Amino acid sequence: MNVIWAIASVVLKEMIRRKDFYVLFVITALITLVMGSVNIFNDKSIAGYLKELCLLLIWICSLVIAISTTARQLYAEKENRTIFPLLAKPVSRAQLLLGKFLGCWIASGLALLLFYVFLAVIAGSREHHWPIGSYFTAFVLHWGALAVVVALALLGSIIFAAPSSNMTICFIVAMGIIWIEPHLNTVAVATKGVLGSLMYAIYFIVPRVDWAFSIRELLVFDNPLPGFAVSGGALLFYAGYTALVLTAAWLLFRRRALHT
Amino acid sequence: MHMQPILKIENLRVEYRSKEVGQGTKVALKDLNLSVFPGETFGFLGPNGAGKTTTMNVLLGFVNATSGDAYLFGQNVREPIARQRIGYLPELTYYYKFLTAEELLRFYARIFNIPKNEREKRIDTVLKLVELDHARTRQIKTYSKGMQQRVGLAQALINDPDLLIFDEPTSGLDPIGRMKVREIIQRLKNEGKTVFFSSHELGEVETICDRVGILYQGELKREGRVTDIVSEFNCDLEQAFLRIIGYTPGGATASTPLLHSQAA
């Protein structure tokens, strides 16, 4: 475990010392701040719409951070050749993958926490109530969904030849799941034959990142968020899916030749 | 008493699938057998493409052998634990440049599970040994090439290894940098460490090494004590090396003019 933590800590250090995260955070913070201070026709419900937009922005930014941080990890290790002195030590490839995953997931979580705290402060100052528990549940589910995205990006970095293609494909897949997945069931029911079965298969195979995304609407309209059992079930699903994707990544990576 | 080898290679064969269509496989190593014993400094020699780096890649677990086996301290190199007591310095040193030397060494020390109190002492010792104590809090990206090579040496020594594997440690360094690295290797040798290194600097090999192995086109052409090889050929190691690999001075290129006259 010490080895995994050590690798994860280097990923975190790298993120802290890079500038792209700060740029994304400043942009999100500025947009949230501007939206939070907007007052259109003294309409009180405007705060809900602004919250919706800000949450959407947070989702996009969190996906960008999670995917871009993860997708370049193994490429950078190979391109900068830092993987060689690392694997020349008693480090297994499974430990390397787990360390990278953990580092990227924690880094994405820290960025996400900052975004949620910022949003809660801006929305709270506008609405004059502080549903901390709801924000916390939304944050935890969001972070759980990001674990799947991070694992997928790590798997992609073993399959695809370039980080840019991995990033693009991962982003399209994640956005596709968020926007299309909730409607796929309805379409599958309406479609007959092989295509319908195929759609059903896709519906059950793809990770349900859209569950965490749909929490956004409950938060916007101040509806009660799912309880411990439902949230726990969703988190277990995300954990299981993440483990599955990481296992696939390890199976592909464990015997791959690395030439100095 | 019969001494057990620290590094043992048995019938090692590595084949690569050629990237070009219809080219089949390329044999990088042909049934290599090699043993390195405790306290030895072993020079692994050969021209470019001979298979030296491939051998090191197998020893370090980067590449899997097609057949045969390799062992470090009696452990198969496929097991990460086999690398617990080794230090490796790659030919080109690339480390996490956003880290300082101190942070990099702390990271590698954590990998080796060195206890916290001992970790800091070890970092101090190796940084002093490679003369980088003054620059320990500077990010590696600000270091010169020679300094980066010395950070490489420091990371290779952080676990106080019994076997050091160096892949052309002085390549690309200026004479002062080369001399410093050489002095460190000599010091390690005097401390009784086992050193396995590849180099093109045959003068350096002749001075430092006890034994050498000469690899050519994936085959081990010669293995033996430096003094024996030098006395057998009655010349320096460089000349002996050229004769062993069958190089004829000027042979292939003797009839080809170096410059084609444009005047005509």
B250: helix, coil or strand?
A: coil
Mutate to test the interface with B, among A84, A93, A254 (most CBs of B within 10 A): A84
Asked if B83 is an interface residue toward chain A (Cβ–Cβ < 8 A), one would say: yes
Number of A/B CB contacts below 8 angstroms equals: 90
B154-194 per-position pLDDT tens digit: 999 999 999 999 888 887 777 887 888 888 888 888 888 99
Distance CA B143, CA B72 (A): 33
B80-95 mean pLDDT: 86
Q: What is the largest CA-CA distance in chain A?
A: 65
- Which residue type does A141 have? L
Q: Who among B56, B99, B155 is closest to A13 (CB)?
A: B99
Side-chain-facing half-sphere of B179: CA atoms under 13 Å: 3
Q: What is the pLDDT of residues B220-236, one digit of tens each?
A: 898 999 889 888 888 88
pLDDT score for A11: 92
**How high is the pLDDT of residue A152?**
95
Top mean pLDDT of A200-204, B134-138, B250-254 is at: B134-138
The mean pLDDT value of chain A amounts to 86
- Tell me the percentage of chain B whose pLDDT exceeds 70: 91
Quick one: pLDDT at residue B184? 84
Query: In terms of DSSP bridges, do strands B211-216 and B86-89 run parallel, antiparallel, or are they unpaired?
Result: unpaired
The whole-angstrom separation of Cα B36 and Cα B39 is: 9
Which token pair is B124? 């101090």
Range from A163-167, B98-102, B185-189 carrying the lowest mean pLDDT: B185-189
Mean pLDDT of A173-201: 84
Q: What is the pLDDT of residues A82-98, one digit of tens each?
A: 898 899 899 999 999 99
Residue A37 has pLDDT above 90, yes or no: no
Residues of A whose CB is below 8 A from B165: 88
pLDDT reported for residue B264: 43
* Interchain pair A91, B96: CB under 8 A: no
Task: Classify each residue of A60-75 as buried b or exposed e, where b means 16 or more C-beta atoms within 10 Å of its C-beta.
Answer: bbbbbbbbbbbbbbbb
CA distance B249 to chain A (A): 31
- What does the pLDDT average to over A232-258? 91
B94: DSSP letter: -
Helix (H), strand (E) at residue A249: helix A228-253
In the sheet where B7-17 sits, what is the strand order?
A: B25-36, B7-17, B67-72, B75-76
pLDDT in tens, B20-71: 666 678 888 898 999 999 999 999 998 888 888 899 999 998 888 899 999 9
Min Cα–Cα distance to chain B from A98, Å: 14
Q: Which residues of B touch A75 (CB under 8 A)?
A: none
How far apart are alpha carbons A103 and A6 in whole angstroms? 9
Which among B120, B175, B131 is positioned nearest to B153, based on CA atoms?
B131
For residue A39, name the pLDDT band (cuts at 50, 70, 90).
low
Cross-chain Cβ contact B62/A255 below 8 Å: no
Query: What per-residue confidence (pLDDT) applies to B257?
Result: 59
Compute the Cα dihedral for B65, B68, B71, B76 and give only its sign: positive
The side-by-side arrangement of strands in the sheet containing B86-89 is B86-89, B163-167, B194-198, B41-45, B211-216, B219-225
CA atoms within 13 A on the CB side of B88: 28
- Considering only CB atoms, which chain B residues are within 8 Å of A3? 110-111, 113
- Comparing CB atoms, the residue among A10, A80, A260 nearest residue B57 is A260
Residue A191: pLDDT above 90?
A: no
Query: Is the per-residue pLDDT at A16 higher than 70?
Result: yes
| Residue B92 predicted with pLDDT over 80 | no
> In the numeric block, which tokens belong to residue B234?
């009655």
pLDDT of residue A166: 92
Whether A258 and B152 lie within 8 Å, measured CB to CB: no
- CB contacts, 8 Å: B88 with chain A: 84-85, 88-89
ipTM: 0.82
pLDDT beyond 90 at A236: yes
Highest mean pLDDT out of A119-123, A148-152, A186-190:
A148-152
B62/A80 CB distance under 8 A: no
User: Any alpha helices (H) in A72-208, and if so which ranges?
Assistant: 73-79, 83-87, 93-127, 132-159, 163-190, 193-205
Split at pLDDT 50, 70, 90, the class of A149 is very high
* CB contact (8 A) between residue B96 and residue A14: yes
